[in-house]
A and B are shown apart, each in its own frame.
Chain A
Amino acid sequence: MVVGKAVLSGFSRIFFNRLWEHLKPGGRDLGETIRSSIDFSPIWTIRVGKLSIPVTGAMVSLVVSALILIVLGMWLRRGLRKHKISGKQALAEKLYLVVINLSESFGMNRRQAETVLPWTLTLGLYIFVSNAIAVVQLPAAAMNPAVPFSLALFAVALIIVMGIRLLGLKGFWYSLIDPIPGLLPFNLLDYLIKPVSLALRLFGNVFGGFILLQFVKTVVPLIFPSILGLWFDVAAGLLQAVIFMYLTTSYIGEVVEKSNNTLERIAQKRQLSEEKV
């Protein structure tokens, strides 16, 4: 009993000392604190036989956000009905219709939009959850420069594969030929520039927000960072996820539209040559 009390008072002394050290405003070396908080090295290494797989903070965030989305999906799936739908089903249907209308407004028809929807909506939700997870002090996934670049590579692969799947190889070739065949190098250059811009936009927003929040946490650690975190983590994550999804859908719609334009032009030429004969 006496030993217990001594341990408790010792613990509370250390705890409150540490808490005051953490909470007192000012008095810290700003540059060193910010520089030391940018750490992309592995926090853990999984050993499987001879392999050792490094695990970084961003990977933890990605896996946790994937689990959250799986649970969310399973929850939304239960109790789907055709009539007298529940509130959550109405919300899910509204989200579905918003993305379908977005895809259709970029030049796809309904069947093509329904093919593309699972990929782009998952991409958008994944980016949102893995960056908004920073409010629970897990590192935001797009802070690590590897994550936005791999997401952008995936988006470009998605554009090309969806183009071939929706239009066939010949249709995809037509989309590269669109106004005149001499513009082929520029259409190909598009596929190199688009992922760079997508990745840098996402990385710049999330990393810049992280640096600013570290600065605020160093100077005023108490309540202010969490209020700012609502804008810089959650709202910026949502906005950047929506923009990523919007632009990916826009690029897929551009491929479809260019292919349709070329098909029309070929049909017109054939008609003109038939009329001449």
Chain B
Amino acid sequence: MEKSLVALAAALAIGAVGSIAAYAISKMAGKAFDSMARQPEVASRVQTSLTIAIVFIETCAIYALVVSLLLVFVF
């Protein structure tokens, strides 16, 4: 019973956070591509800002991955 709860917790942690992070990044990337097509001369600045934003959102997903790995290997 305890092992199955731990497995469920690990799966929920990474599943929920990963899907929300992917959704957020996809919305952001869509808007970035729109703005790059509208104004090609600022394309490189938009790309730099997009990269920074993706790094920060991805960090939250990686925190969730670390939590689920911790759950699986310690409990």
Contacts and interface: CB of A to CB of B under 8 A. Distances in A.
Do A and B bind?
A: yes
Interface of A: 35, 38, 105, 197, 200-201, 203-205, 207-208, 211, 243, 246-247, 250
A208 B63 contact: no
Interface secondary structure of A, over-half rule = helix
A200 B59 contact: yes
22 contacts: A38-B73, A105-B48, A197-B59, A200-B63, A200-B66, A201-B55, A201-B58, A201-B59, A201-B62, A203-B66, A204-B65, A204-B69, A207-B69, A208-B62, A208-B66, A208-B69, A211-B69, A246-B51, A246-B52, A246-B55, A247-B55, A250-B52
A197 B51 CA distance: 17
A217 B59 CA distance: 27
B63 to A, nearest CB: 6
Given A35-B73, A38-B73, A204 B66 contact: yes
Interface residues of B, number: 12
Interface secondary structure of B, over-half rule = helix
B6 to A, nearest CB: 13
Of the candidates B58, B62, B63, B73, the one having the most CB atoms from chain A within 10 angstroms of its own CB is B62
B51 to A, nearest CB: 8
Given A204-B63, A246-B51, A246-B52, 20 more contacts: A38-B73, A105-B48, A197-B59, A200-B59, A200-B62, A200-B63, A200-B66, A201-B58, A201-B59, A201-B62, A204-B62, A204-B66, A204-B69, A205-B62, A207-B66, A207-B69, A208-B62, A208-B65, A208-B66, A243-B55
Nearest to A197: B59
A38 B48 CA distance: 36
A200 B48 CA distance: 22
A38 B74 CA distance: 12
